[in-house]
Amino acid sequence: MGKRRRAAVPAVEELISPVNSLDDGCLMHIFSFLSPIPDRYNTALVCHRWRFLACHPRLWLRVERPIRDVMEPGVYPNLEAAVSAARPGDTILIAAGGTHVACNIQIKKPICIIGGGELPDDTVLTCSRGSDNALEFLSTCKIANLTIRAELGCCLLHRSGRLTIQECLLQCEQNPLDYLSFPIISTAIEYNSFPSLKEQGHGVTVVRTRIEGGAKAVRTNGTLALQHVRAIYSRSSVFFWFESLDVHHAKADLSSELAKLNCHFQSTVTAKDVKL
């Protein structure tokens, strides 16, 4: 009986985990198709080998402060250095804990920036006073699971491309010049008169994001307009779901959506924010 049991163990292991017979390059290619959070993050919890492959710099870059090993590839001391080193399509994972400085960081390539904590409050980006914004987007990008605080100015400045903000916390600190602060500002302009100059469209999509402080939740200085707006109000903040797309495609829905969002709280969106 003992011999039969010992002989059966290897066969069971082969049936349970045949994926482990794949080489590292093949496994890493499979992991590249997973969403960074939570799927790829969860694969790193399986075993030491999967953690090494899931955290490989070919799949994403990491921001850690302080850096444990200065010789480790793909690890950077701050977000600006990681953005500079990133290639189009890369994902940057910012370590949870502590506060990371982000001041006027321009992002001109399509990348994804994700907080490494369980909640947005675990990963904080701070924009100090004297800076216009924390992050400035000039390409299609996505940010998720982050807290971004701005003492004065705006948290996010969207100039072009499609920006997705998912499950974040955007905070404008309370100060006497609060009327100059905006969590989100979009200045994107569609070149409808010149089709040859028009890009693949501009827009801002906000999903389950908490917004606190500032004169208004979002300000549009270009040709984008708000639509599909939903909001949940709490005592000190507002949870938002909305899209900011080309005004020529949104005029029909804008009036009814803004009427639902006549907010007189810390964070508000009103008709004068939208330039028609």
Residues 212, 79 share a domain: yes
Residues 157, 98 share a domain: yes
Compute how many other C-beta atoms are within 10 angstroms of the C-beta atom of residue 145.
25
Domain range spanning residue 54? 20-59
Pick the more confident residue, 96 or 175. 96
Q: Measuring CA to CA, which residue among 275, 157, 163 is closest to residue 220?
A: 275
- Please check whether residue 274 lies inside any domain of the structure: no
Q: Which of 59, 85, 108 is the last residue of a domain?
A: 59
Residues 106, 25 share a domain: no
Residues 46, 101 share a domain: no
- Please check whether residue 99 lies inside any domain of the structure: yes
- Please check whether residue 276 lies inside any domain of the structure: no
Residues 103, 37 share a domain: no
Q: Which runs of consecutive H residues, i.e. helices, occur in 73-146?
A: 79-85
pLDDT digits (tens, 9 = 90+) for 60-84: 888 987 766 656 778 899 999 999 9
Residues 159, 32 share a domain: no
Residues 128, 164 share a domain: yes
* Average pLDDT value for residue range 20-43: 83
Q: How far apart are CA 140 and CA 242, in angstroms?
A: 17
- Beta bridge partner(s), residue 125: 100, 148
- Here the CATH number for the domain that contains residue 30 is 1.20.1280
Residues 80, 49 share a domain: no
Q: What per-residue confidence (pLDDT) applies to 159? A: 93
Model pTM score: 0.71
Q: Which of 10, 40, 59 is the last residue of a domain?
A: 59
Structure tokens at 95: 């370590």
pLDDT digits (tens, 9 = 90+) for 190-239: 655 444 444 457 888 888 898 888 777 788 877 777 777 777 777 766 67
Residues 237, 104 share a domain: yes
Q: How far apart are CA 156 and CA 188, in angstroms?
A: 13
Pick the more confident residue, 267 or 240. 240
- Please check whether residue 267 lies inside any domain of the structure: no
pLDDT for 248 beyond 50: no
Residues 39, 154 share a domain: no
- Please check whether residue 255 lies inside any domain of the structure: no
pLDDT confidence bin for 246, thresholds 50/70/90: low
- Please check whether residue 7 lies inside any domain of the structure: no
Structure tokens at 57: 């710099």
- Please check whether residue 223 lies inside any domain of the structure: yes
Number of domains making up the chain: 2
Structure tokens at 194: 């010149």
pLDDT for 256 beyond 90: no
- Please check whether residue 264 lies inside any domain of the structure: no
Residues 181, 46 share a domain: no
| 2 backbone dihedrals φ, ψ, rounded to 5° | -60, -40
Residues 186, 90 share a domain: yes
